[in-house]
Amino acid sequence: MIRVVCPECGEQFETDADALFLFNRFYCLACEALLEVIEEDPLVLEAIDEEYYESEDEPENDWADE
Ligand SMILES: [Zn+2]
């Protein structure tokens, strides 16, 4: 288990190391925010707006972002 800090609520919790791969998503145990791994080394988590992703119907265009 690896201790991570939720970017949404700041709580520390432990999660399985196997879950910490790039772009994997899991829920914060404290605030239930949906988090995504955006960097593996060093580990960076980002809170995801779940409703936004639920309505997503286009293929991902990461390169077109920004
Ligand atoms: Zn949280």
Q: Residue 37: name the closest of 52, 22, 17 by CA.
A: 22
Residue 13 CA to ligand 1 center (angstroms) comes to: 9
Q: Which of 60, 32, 64, 29 is nearest to 48 (CA)?
A: 32
pLDDT at 47 exceeding the cut of 90: yes
Residue 64 belongs to some domain of the structure: no
**Domain of residue 29, CATH code:** 2.20.28.160
Give the pLDDT confidence score for residue 50 in this predicted structure. Answer: 74
Tell me how far apart the alpha carbons of residues 54 and 19 are, in angstroms, rounded to a whole number: 21
Residues in contact with 7: Cβ distance below 8 Å, sequence separation at least 6, in sequence order: 35, 45, 46, 47
* CA 62 to centroid of ligand 1, rounded, Å: 25
- The answer to whether residue 14 sits within a structural domain is yes
Query: Does residue 63 fall inside a structural domain?
Result: no
Look at the chain and report how many structural domains it folds into. Answer: 1
Range of the domain at 33: 2-58
Say if 65 falls within a structural domain: no
Predicted TM-score (pTM) of this structure: 0.72
- Mean pLDDT for 7-15 is 94
Q: What is the mean pLDDT of residues 28-54?
A: 89
User: Distance, CA 44 to ligand 1 centroid (Å)?
Assistant: 14
Q: Residue 11's pLDDT is what? A: 96
What is the structure's pLDDT at 32? 94
Residue 49: per-residue pLDDT: 86
What is the 58 CA–ligand 1 centroid distance (Å)? 28
Q: Does 38 score more than 90 pLDDT?
A: yes
Q: For residue 66, is it within any domain?
A: no
